[in-house]
Amino acid sequence: MRNPYSIYYRVLLGLALAILWASCASYGPYHANTAAEPLNSVRGPADGRYKMAFVEFGDQGSPLDNSQRKEALEVVHKAQRPLLFVYIHGWQNNAVSGDVCRFEHFLDTVSSFPEFTGRKIDVIGVYIAWRGKDLTFPGLNLLTFWSRKSTGGGIAAANSVLATIEELAVAAREPGKEYHHTVLLGHSFGALVLGNTISHSILGANGEGGRSSSPWDMAVAFNSADTSITTRQLMSEFDYLYKYDPQKRAYVNRGNLGEETTAVSENRPALVLLQSENDSATGQIFPIGQGVVDLTNLHFHWQKVPVPGHHGEKVSENEFYTHTPGNEKYLVNYHVVPLGEISPPSGLRATENRAFEANIKQNRPDFSFYTSEHNDGHEGNSCRNGEYIPGDVHPPTGKELWRKWKFEYTGNARVPYWIVRVPKDIIWGHGGLWSDNSVAMLGALFRMEFPLAGGKVATPKPVTAPRSPDLQQLNRDRHVPE
């Protein structure tokens, strides 16, 4: 006689599998170019003030449609004055999620500011998409933390994303361009992809035994959902190569001190990581997830590794495995500190997010900047029925709250890699990177990185790769097992 319970369990299993299958997100590509729509992966307003292109990747890091990269490059090639933003989204997002609208709203906003329209800057955005969201069933999508983190790591380790980023950045600075800047952005697991992808390029050895410079100009990660393992390693490499000189306000090479070409200006770090102080996803949930991985893999033994900037101090590498960089006390080296409420600067022409304009109008030699809004999420309604409408009017809130802030060094390794703790008034929680105040802060970082000279953006001095220092420090910082 057949057991009725076995039939019951088979039915339940079948239903569960059906739900999982039905809730799987499409592999894409969502913006495939076809014979009927050869430019489906590129869009923008009719007046051409900005262009946005999609380049989509699969779970193994392979392009889903090679023509997308070709069309994105064509947009950059045609621009005479490209300001290129390459953005990699994070967990629970893909090429058709709400993050697309938020990124396009950012491009629309930047392209509309008088500081850029008056100089005829070609604002270009490339949305690097991957399956950060692979389940759509409510509740089940939260169980994808481990699979999506693993996928992000695999994409970063593959070749295609880095090749795409580098080719886009090289195209932006090709001969004949009257102006060019490339800014890389990443959020959450997208920040994981960004950091691990470009770190290989930042530390790529050249033929002279040093480190080569990168084709992009600026890289910013928001609320990185990565372990601190590779961040600690990268900061240790920087600490091995560079020493901060307060008189020059620059990081000078330990191996050939006194040679001006080897100095990296303090305002031009290789990577800036911004971490919201009230981000529970990376602050509380991430360590729990990593702890589960530890137990599952029976990983109990960890070696001790050196803390960058704390010569002689070593801690268990598990400390860095269970904390994201922006929540790791041994790595955070900058804080955004409040300087109080102020009156708005004069001469502003923008109607929304006026602090962004204020931050890019003038140089920021003291690393101070403005915000002008209550961080209440009012700017989040940038989509209409899932689509962004270029030029849609987003009136000011009428509740401006002008404040002044400052990026301030607060300890740990002083190297050209900033890990910054940011108040919730600027970035609220894990997904607050596109808030008006966060965008205003990004504008300040942009002006710090590219200061004005005579009313125009000064051409950055080339960064010559430093020679490796002697072995004394390297021997002092060698790993010691527990």
> Residues 205, 211: contact at Cβ < 8 Å?
yes
In one letter, which amino acid is 482? E
Which of 394 and 114 is assigned the larger pLDDT?
114
Residue 458 clears pLDDT 70, i.e. is over it: no
Q: What is the pLDDT of residue 477?
A: 46
Q: What is the pLDDT of residue 414?
A: 96
Q: What is the pLDDT of residue 151?
A: 80
Q: What is the pLDDT of residue 480?
A: 45
Contacts of 393 (CB under 8 A, 6+ apart): none
* Mean pLDDT estimate for the chain: 83
Distance separating alpha carbons of residues 19 and 140, to the nearest angstrom: 10
Tens digit of pLDDT for each residue in 389-431? 787 666 666 679 999 999 999 999 999 999 999 999 999 999 9
> Residues 55, 128: contact at Cβ < 8 Å?
yes
For the CA atoms of 218, 434, 279, 268, the dihedral, rounded to the nearest 10 degrees, stands at 20
Confidence of residue 115 (pLDDT cuts 50, 70, 90): confident
DSSP 291: H
Which of 62 and 481 is assigned the larger pLDDT?
62
H/E stretch holding 11: helix 4-22
Distance separating alpha carbons of residues 389 and 105, to the nearest angstrom: 9
Q: Given the structure tokens 């989204």, which residue do they identify?
A: 89
Residue 255 clears pLDDT 90, i.e. is over it: no
Which of 27 and 277 is assigned the larger pLDDT?
277
Q: What is the pLDDT of residue 465?
A: 43
Tens digit of pLDDT for each residue in 357-372? 999 999 999 999 999 9
* Mean pLDDT within 20-39: 75
> Residues 284, 188: contact at Cβ < 8 Å?
no
CA count, 13 A, side-chain hemisphere, 198: 29
> Residues 316, 323: contact at Cβ < 8 Å?
no
Cis peptide before 45 (omega within 30 of 0): no
Q: What is the pLDDT of residue 206?
A: 43
Kind of pairing, strands 42-43 and 242-245?
A: unpaired
Q: What is the pLDDT of residue 438?
A: 97
Which of 431, 450, 454 has the alpha carbon at shortest distance from 222? 431
Confidence of residue 278 (pLDDT cuts 50, 70, 90): very high
CA count, 13 A, side-chain hemisphere, 433: 24
Which of 424 and 352 is assigned the larger pLDDT?
424
Which of 194 and 137 is assigned the larger pLDDT?
194
Q: What is the pLDDT of residue 249?
A: 93
Tens digit of pLDDT for each residue in 338-349? 999 999 999 998
Distance of CA 53 to CAs 27, 120, 194, 216, 387, Å? 18, 20, 18, 18, 15
- Based on its alpha-carbon atoms, the radius of gyration of the chain, rounded to whole angstroms, reads 23
Helix 354-361 / helix 436-449 crossing angle, nearest 10 deg: 10
Distance separating alpha carbons of residues 289 and 238, to the nearest angstrom: 29
Which of 292 and 416 is assigned the larger pLDDT?
416
Distance separating alpha carbons of residues 123 and 120, to the nearest angstrom: 9
Confidence of residue 1 (pLDDT cuts 50, 70, 90): low
Tens digit of pLDDT for each residue in 198-228? 887 777 644 343 445 688 999 999 999 999 9
Which of 235, 263, 247 has the alpha carbon at shortest distance from 411? 235
